[in-house]
């Protein structure tokens, strides 16, 4: 993950402290608090703060004076009901804050989720580290032939070696020239003391999109689930999905009832169009239905058949 000893020390110091609070706590999440969960070759996600738990969702839905929780089964039933009927506001009452280290091209997708708070490391103000993403061999894939924004077969042999070489060489050259323009050596000291180097806000433009940046990212539970529903989805680009999957694990620790409802009613659910529902009704009535008579496009037909477990 490329943590320096100093960074590891700071994290350990934070993990070592224990304070007393009247607030709700979640022991399973406290266990991994501040810990850097590795993602990709140099990235990580770490939970640095949180507010609320499953009970806070229940409390808000009931606008109650105390914890608002009753029996576990009632709370679970209420959370399932809220998720099923898209009553989203009670889930907004919980908040979580992550520290994330991620390649810039991933950050560019991620930032499109507007309903979050973000503080990014500034390359106008500071010098970026020499860390860039190179795909692991099993993630180096050719362009898909059927889907303009997807991946096809994994590259192998010479083709793979050649691509990896280009990516690595170009990133290394970009960083070497970035340092030269900034007039700093590897230790961050001036190379030529007679001039200050190019302005950092200009030099940064020489870095490529696989360089790592980092940010604090804070969002509420509802918006986090919206993010995960898009980014942990099979259609998301692998590199951002890797982050979303690590975050799904933190969701399960934090709010286990909400996590279960999210899987049941969102991630593993399917939305079926009006025409799709008509197909299902006809099939259940024993009719033979084919694509032509369904009114569905070929792609919609394939998707529907997959959802209901039939061959297209």
Q: Which residues are catalytic?
A: 231
Separation of alpha carbons 26 and 259, rounded Å: 14
Cβ closest to a second copy, residue 241 vs residue 247: 241
Q: Which of 5, 22, 290, 292 binds a second copy (CB under 8 A)?
A: 22
Cβ closest to a second copy, residue 245 vs residue 295: 295
Shortest distance (Å) from residue 151 CB to a second copy: 4
> Does the footprint of a second copy cover residue 133 (CB under 8 A)?
yes
Shortest distance (Å) from residue 21 CB to a second copy: 5
In this structure, the strands spanning 43-51 and 151-154 are unpaired
Please, which of residues 203-262 interact with a second copy by CB under 8 A? 204-210, 214-216, 218, 220, 230, 235, 237
> Does the footprint of a second copy cover residue 124 (CB under 8 A)?
yes
Separation of alpha carbons 84 and 81, rounded Å: 5
Greatest alpha-carbon pair distance for the chain in Å reads 85
> Does the footprint of a second copy cover residue 269 (CB under 8 A)?
yes
> Does the footprint of a second copy cover residue 304 (CB under 8 A)?
no
> Does the footprint of a second copy cover residue 34 (CB under 8 A)?
yes
Query: What is the total residue count of the chain?
Result: 312
> Does the footprint of a second copy cover residue 135 (CB under 8 A)?
yes
Q: Whose CA is closest to 35, among 107, 99, 116?
A: 99
> Does the footprint of a second copy cover residue 115 (CB under 8 A)?
yes
Q: Which of 283, 289, 291, 302 binds a second copy (CB under 8 A)?
A: 283
Q: How many residues bind a second copy (CB under 8 A)?
A: 135
> Does the footprint of a second copy cover residue 140 (CB under 8 A)?
yes
Find the part of the chain contacting a second copy (CB under 8 A) among 195-203, 242-250, 251-259.
195-203
Please, which of residues 158-187 interact with a second copy by CB under 8 A? 159, 163, 166-167, 170-171, 173-174, 177, 180-182
Cβ closest to a second copy, residue 47 vs residue 246: 47
How far out from the chain centre does Cα 252 lie?
14
- Name every residue whose Cβ is closer than 8 Å to that of residue 121 and which is 6 or more positions away in sequence: 128, 213, 214, 215
> Does the footprint of a second copy cover residue 156 (CB under 8 A)?
no
Please, which of residues 87-106 interact with a second copy by CB under 8 A? 89-90, 92-93, 95, 97, 99, 103-105
> 221 and 96 in contact (C-beta within 8 Å)?
yes
> 55 and 69 in contact (C-beta within 8 Å)?
yes
- Name every residue whose Cβ is closer than 8 Å to that of residue 116 and which is 6 or more positions away in sequence: 217, 218, 219, 223, 227
Distances (CA, A) of 107 to 35, 214, 263, 300: 21, 9, 25, 31
Cβ closest to a second copy, residue 11 vs residue 246: 11
Separation of alpha carbons 180 and 191, rounded Å: 8
Shortest distance (Å) from residue 249 CB to a second copy: 18
- Name every residue whose Cβ is closer than 8 Å to that of residue 63 and which is 6 or more positions away in sequence: none
């Amino acid at each position: 993950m490329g943590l320096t000893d100093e960074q590891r020390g700071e994290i350990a110091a934070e993990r070592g402290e224990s304070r007393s609070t009247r607030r709700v706590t979640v022991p399973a999440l406290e266990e991994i608090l501040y810990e850097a969960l590795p993602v990709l070759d140099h990235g990580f996600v770490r939970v640095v703060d949180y507010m609320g738990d499953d009970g806070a969702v229940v409390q808000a839905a009931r606008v109650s004076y105390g914890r608002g929780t009753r029996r576990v089964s009632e709370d679970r039933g209420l959370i399932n009901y809220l998720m099923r009927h898209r009553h989203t506001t009670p889930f907004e009452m919980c908040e979580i804050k992550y520290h994330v280290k991620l390649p810039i091209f991933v950050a560019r997708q991620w930032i499109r989720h507007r309903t979050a708070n973000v503080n990014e490391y500034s390359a106008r103000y500071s010098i970026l580290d020499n860390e860039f993403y190179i795909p692991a061999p099993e993630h180096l894939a050719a362009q898909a032939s059927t889907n303009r924004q997807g991946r096809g077969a994994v590259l192998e042999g010479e083709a793979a070696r050649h691509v990896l070489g280009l990516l690595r060489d170009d990133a290394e050259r970009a960083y070497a020239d970035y340092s030269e323009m900034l007039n700093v050596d590897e230790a961050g000291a001036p190379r030529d003391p007679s001039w200050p180097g190019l302005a950092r806000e200009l030099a940064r433009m020489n870095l490529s999109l696989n360089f790592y940046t980092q940010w604090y990212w804070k969002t509420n539970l509802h918006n986090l689930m919206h993010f995960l529903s898009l980014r942990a989805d099979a259609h998301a680009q692998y590199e951002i999905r890797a982050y979303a999957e690590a975050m799904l694990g933190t969701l399960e620790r934090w709010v286990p009832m909400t996590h279960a409802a999210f899987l049941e009613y969102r991630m593993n659910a399917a939305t079926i169009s009006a025409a799709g529902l008509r197909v299902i009704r006809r099939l259940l009535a024993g009719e033979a239905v084919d694509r032509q008579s369904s009114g569905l496009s070929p792609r919609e037909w394939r998707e529907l058949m997959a959802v209901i477990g039939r061959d297209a």
